[in-house]
Amino acid sequence: MASTQCEVPAFNPEDSEIKEILSQYKIIAVVGLSDDPSKDSNRVAQYLIHHGYTVVPVNPTKETILGLKSYPDLKSIPFPVEIVDIFRKPADVPPVVDDAIAIGAKVVWMQLGIAHNEAAKKAKEAGLKVVQSKCIKIEHTRYFGTGQ
């Protein structure tokens, strides 16, 4: 049975690389985005939209979230995605990483409390940048000083 516990990340990029990721890449697929405004995934997506990022909802149970078309999975998105931001339990990460590799994403970002070292290693070996157990909103605020 797969663990739902978060692993300690075996590796993460240096701060300068995280800042570069947030500066360079602007199209973010949010896997596990909820339409519930009280959920972290929804608040993070709203923040990213407010700060100029293109957010692509990925949730197989919803047609739209935040007024945006939602896709059932990464492979259904008909345009390039740069960052895959994962709001799923650790056991669900490996197939998301496989899809991120398949679609040519540049970055796999696992939200705070989410890490999967084996999947992260696979993504890195495929040439993707990997961030584990860090909130993209918190990191953006830390580097660019724009909370909300």
What is the chain's pLDDT, residue by residue, as a tens digit (148 residues)? 444 566 788 889 999 999 999 999 999 999 999 999 999 999 999 999 999 999 999 999 999 999 999 999 999 999 999 999 999 999 999 999 999 999 999 999 999 999 999 999 999 999 999 999 999 999 999 999 865 5
Residue labelled with tokens 């953006």:
140
pTM, two decimals, is 0.93
Helix and strand numbers, DSSP H then E, in the chain: 5, 7
Please count the residues of the chain: 148
- Return the DSSP state at 59: -
Residue 137 host element (H or E) = helix 136-144
The bridge status of strand 68-69 relative to strand 64-65 is antiparallel
Strand partners, 108: 84, 130
- Return the DSSP state at 5: S
Structural domains in the chain plus CATH codes: 15-144 (3.40.50.720)
CB 94 within 8 A of CB 88: no
